[in-house]
Structure 1
Amino acid sequence: MGKTWRTAAAVVPLAGVAVWAAWHRDLLAAGGRDLLAADRAWLLAALAATALGWVAVAVARQGTVLEPLPAGRLLATQFAATAANQLTPAGIGAGAVNLRFLRGCGLPLARTSAALALYSLAESVGRVTLLAAMLLAFPHALRVHGLVPDRGTLEVAAVALALAVAAAAGTVLAVGPLRRLAGGFLATALADARSLHLRPARALALWGGSLAFPALQAAGLVAVAHALALPVPPAHVAIAYLAATCLAAGIPTPGGVGSVDAALGLALVAAGAPAGAATSAVLGYRIITAWLPLLPAALTLGALVRRRVV
């Protein structure tokens, strides 16, 4: 029974990739045509930045636990998580793959969950910090007039978000089992975070990797923009990427398809790119960073499942 389950689990990512590719075949074809006419050297640079991004994620994941993790399997897991992420919203797929990996390394569930939460927090802080620093250096990079909601809409959204957070917190506090579960999780997470930050190597891995990952992703978009001769300064392209991904994080879709694409397109237009050129850059970037690695990532995920790594 266990062997049958693992065989089925190894096939699921490939089936998901096939369905996804069939569903998005028109987008893939359009982006592929644009890339055929692009500068190959810059496209290779974008591929290199993407590959280094998986290394950065692996380093950051190591920084979330005190125990040394097997480096090769850790890196392979981050690459495999690319396939899982394309089929689930809000990074749930990557979280599930890493949960299985850490559990397989012998970490208890409470500490594994704390490690996943710490990574998500550090990655978000790193992305927002980079965006804030670049906006301070280039305050006029984005011309957002007409591209963002008016003040009244933003205030209503802020109130709705505050009410949702308050309702969730009230539910947790009101229900005894949830309160005890949340309390135990927070105690474990805080204890682990404190221990990790007493180890300079772990703290450097966590925050260095969390800053390097979005920086490398932004560099990949800059390289694609160069390949397609997009008439926008590199720093402005990087800011557009960071702003778009921060915005799209609030609209979880499988693999970011739709939310990330739309946000990237709008951000590039706000940075000064013509709408048609911005669309080509977004399609080219998504092909290189997400769609091209999808099949090998799914094969890797299947192999890791069969070998009981995840």
Structure 2
Amino acid sequence: MTTQQITTAVPARRRAHWRTAGSLAVVLTAVFLAHRHWPVLESGALRLAVADQGWLWVGVTTTVLTWGCAALAQQGAVARTLPVGRLVAAQFAASAANHVLPAGLGASAVNLRFLMRCGLPAARAATALGVKAAASAVARGVLIAALALACPGVLQVPGVPPAALAVLPVVAVGVTVLLRGPLGPRCGRALAAVRADIREVHARPSRAVALWGGSLAFALLHAATLIAVTQAVALPLPPAQVALLYLAASSAAALLPTPGGLGSLDAVLALALTAAGAPAAAAASAVLGYRLLTVWLPLVPGLLVLGVLVRRRAL
């Protein structure tokens, strides 16, 4: 073996070792999380064992479809055609990573790395994630507004304390100072890049339909999963009301930087269902069933897929 071949082989072996170590770390994380939360998994499984199995299978189906909708929305945010199989696998892995790191960092990191592996520069990949996130937020807001009109009186908008109103001018002045200072040109370039990508995506109707359709369907299917679980445990609330409470509760829980909303979404959603008239035990069972279908059951397989994608250099 020549000196050049040896020089080339050493970094390759190091990268292989790092990929192996990363895959092993992912597997160990999955085992640790399953062991740590085993009482929750066991009690939830026992509760769901006596629930309506037909509705639970509906919940399983809608959960699986959410990964396809996430892939559709991600493709819609990118002008370049992405490999379908790896794109769906990346969304499945991203959903698992999102439950390990706080505030959506896991999913963003996986998708950013995936887009870069598909040939997008880092800046364009980050912009694509921003476009997808913005579309998701707008779609969720539209759904909440439509369901609030269909279910009047369900959502109670809290009053704004005077102290918060007094802080708003201070925040506005601070933002203005930052934008006029060193951050101004950078923010301007970033916003220009986002606007350019939005125009490029919406210039192609298929991409625009994928972006907005995938974003709307993703939120609706998560709400449908909760509705299926509430039907399985015979929770006495109308489906439209359950969907509205889920969308509002998940939007509020997103403000708290916990991994995948664990703890924050559970508490807010259970409180919302109980305040709407559901028995506390049924509300807790519904939230637990929703978490089992969307988090705990796919968690270990999702992390294993993440490890495989890292091993195969797809991430």
Work out whether residues 13 and 84 of structure 1, in 8 Å CA contact, stay in contact via their aligned partners in 2: no
Mapped pair 1:171 → 2:178? yes
Q: State the distance in 1 between where 2:200 and 2:117 align.
A: 22
Work out whether residues 61 and 119 of structure 1, in 8 Å CA contact, stay in contact via their aligned partners in 2: yes
Work out whether residues 128 and 246 of structure 1, in 8 Å CA contact, stay in contact via their aligned partners in 2: no
Distance 1:208 1:156, change over 3 A: farther
Cα deviation code 1:153-200 (max 9, x no counterpart): 4x544655775575456335422xx44432222221111101111111
Distance 1:161 1:78, change over 3 A: farther
Gap regions ≥5 residues in structure 2: 1-13
Distance 1:133 1:55, change over 3 A: same
Q: Which residue of 2 aligns with 1:235?
A: 240
After TM superposition, the score normalised by the length of structure 2 is: 0.90
Q: State the distance in 2 between where 1:15 and 1:257 align.
A: 20
After TM superposition, the score normalised by the length of structure 1 is: 0.92
Q: Which residue of 1 aligns with 2:219?
A: 214
Give RMSD over aligned pairs.
1.8
1:18 is displaced (CA, Å) by 2.3
1:60 is displaced (CA, Å) by 0.4
Q: Which residue of 1 aligns with 2:65?
A: 52
2:98 partner SS: helix
Q: Which residue of 1 aligns with 2:108?
A: 95
Question: Counterpart of 1:18 in structure 2: which amino acid?
Answer: V
- Give the alignment of 1:17-32 within 5 angstroms: 17-32=30-45
Q: State the distance in 2 between where 1:71 and 1:158 align.
A: 48
Mapped pair 1:224 → 2:224? no
Mapped pair 1:195 → 2:208? no
Q: State the distance in 2 between where 1:77 and 1:166 align.
A: 41
Work out whether residues 59 and 205 of structure 1, in 8 Å CA contact, stay in contact via their aligned partners in 2: yes
Larger radius of gyration: 2
Mapped pair 1:38 → 2:58? no
Question: Counterpart of 2:306 in structure 1: which amino acid?
Answer: L
Q: State the distance in 2 between where 1:224 and 1:182 align.
A: 43
1:15 is displaced (CA, Å) by 2.0
1:248 pairs, out of 244, 248, 253, with 253
Number of residue pairs aligned between Structure 1 and Structure 2? 302
Q: Which residue of 1 aligns with 2:8?
A: none
Question: Counterpart of 1:6 in structure 2: which amino acid?
Answer: R
Cα deviation code 1:66-98 (max 9, x no counterpart): 111001110000001122101111111000000
Distance 1:227 1:169, change over 3 A: farther
Q: Which residue of 2 aligns with 1:309?
A: 314
Distance 1:290 1:168, change over 3 A: farther
Q: Which residue of 2 aligns with 1:118?
A: 131
Gap regions ≥5 residues in structure 1: none
Q: State the distance in 2 between where 1:209 and 1:90 align.
A: 21
Percentage of pairs with the same residue: 50
Q: Which residue of 2 aligns with 1:77?
A: 90
Q: Which residue of 2 aligns with 1:61?
A: 74
